[in-house]
Homo-oligomer: A and B are copies of this chain.
Amino acid sequence: MKKLFIQEVAPRDGFQNEARFIDTEDKIAFVDQLSLCGYAKIEVTSFTSPRAIPALKDAEAVMHRLHRNPDVVYTVLVPNMRGAERAMSCGVDEINLVMSVSETHNLSNLRMSRERSFEQLAAVIEEVRNTDTAINVSLSTVFGCPMQGDIEQSDVLGWIDRFAQLGVNGVTLCDTTGMAYPTQVGSLFSTVIERFSGLQITAHFHNTRGMALANTVTALQAGVERFDSSLGGLGGCPYAPGASGNVTTEDLVHMLELMGYDTGVDLAAILAISRTLAPLIGHDVNSQTLAAGTRMSLHPVPEYVQQLQHSQ
């Protein structure tokens, strides 16, 4: 059985998108539960300005007080040097830097050019590189920009290369608004994995147009071993308020385990946690496996069928 690495983003990418503030104690309890489920990595929070993202204003408290499992990499989103300093003071295992490969999306999301973002992130990488803290870079809109449209594969490769040269440990290719499609995914990841064999490459899919698991299939075929996902599908898409966001962890793990992969994740355990999310966040989660049950959650044989069986 081939081993895969499942990286849970709900505590950061999910809670950040919730209208209701999730209490610090609830966040810690949630991450502590996740820590026992076999994830390779958990994105705990974001060291962003509390004014910009009040939902995660308790980043230090959550990071300091959670009960770490030594088998889990605890990563946090870091937008800039100030965020990196705050994260390092909490002893995170990894910082996750972010910029967009689309100029328009970077201007829209980070309010600066890609070159300016790269300069700032390069300075952070320079500071962190020689510490015990690992560095991942998440590249947004790799499979398409919701304002600009298609992104050239050569542009994506160019940005990965620039970060690889700075010595980062991993790069995540993010389908930020669900524009990826299976053949595109297979082609890009095949090229990236061949060209950047020294980097940990993660696929981060959104299910906005229903293709997240289809994209997962071709990513697997291209050799991807690391997948971001969000319990209950938490974390929406700002460009399509009614649409799905992050691929749902339990749906992803359910499929991968059926396909014979070893995800390490305890599906029954995460389904039990997912079931507690609706009351916590105040609305239904987006989980097909929770709604329908796992494939082998069989239904009882009705009595009239039993009678027919006996009368044969």
Contacts from A to B (Cβ < 8 Å): 104, 107-108, 111-113, 144, 146-149, 178-179, 181-184, 207-211, 213-214, 216-218, 237, 239-240, 242-244, 248, 251, 254-255, 258-260, 288-289, 291-296, 298-302, 304-305, 308-309, 312
Contact = CB atoms under 8 A, between A and B. Distances in A.
A203 to B, nearest CB: 14
Nearest first, the 8 A-B pairs at minimum CB distance are A243-B292, A210-B288, A181-B258, A240-B292, A213-B214, A210-B251, A243-B291, A214-B214
Given A214-B214, A254-B209, A255-B210, A107 B305 contact: yes
A80 to B, nearest CB: 17
Contact of A217 (B184, B217, B300, B302): B217
Main SS class of interface, A: loop
B259 A181 contact: yes
A149 B298 CA distance: 7
Contacts of A209: 251, 254-255, 288-289, 292, 294-295
A108 B299 CA distance: 12
A242 B239 CA distance: 26
Contacts of A291: 240, 242-244
Nearest to A295: B179
Contacts of A217: 182, 214, 217-218
Contacts of A149: 296, 298
B244 A309 contact: no
Contacts of A312: 113
Contact of A107 (B146, B258, B299, B308): B308
29 contacts: A104-B301, A107-B305, A107-B308, A108-B301, A111-B304, A147-B298, A147-B299, A147-B300, A179-B295, A181-B255, A181-B259, A181-B295, A182-B217, A182-B255, A183-B259, A207-B210, A209-B255, A209-B289, A210-B255, A210-B288, A213-B213, A237-B292, A240-B291, A242-B292, A243-B288, A243-B291, A243-B292, A244-B288, A244-B291
Nearest to A103: B309
Given A107-B309, A111-B308, A217-B217, A289 B210 contact: yes
A298 B255 contact: no
Contacts of A296: 149
A280 B293 CA distance: 30
Nearest to A233: B210
A9 to B, nearest CB: 18
A292 B182 contact: no
A31 B43 CA distance: 49
A236 to B, nearest CB: 11
A304 B183 CA distance: 35
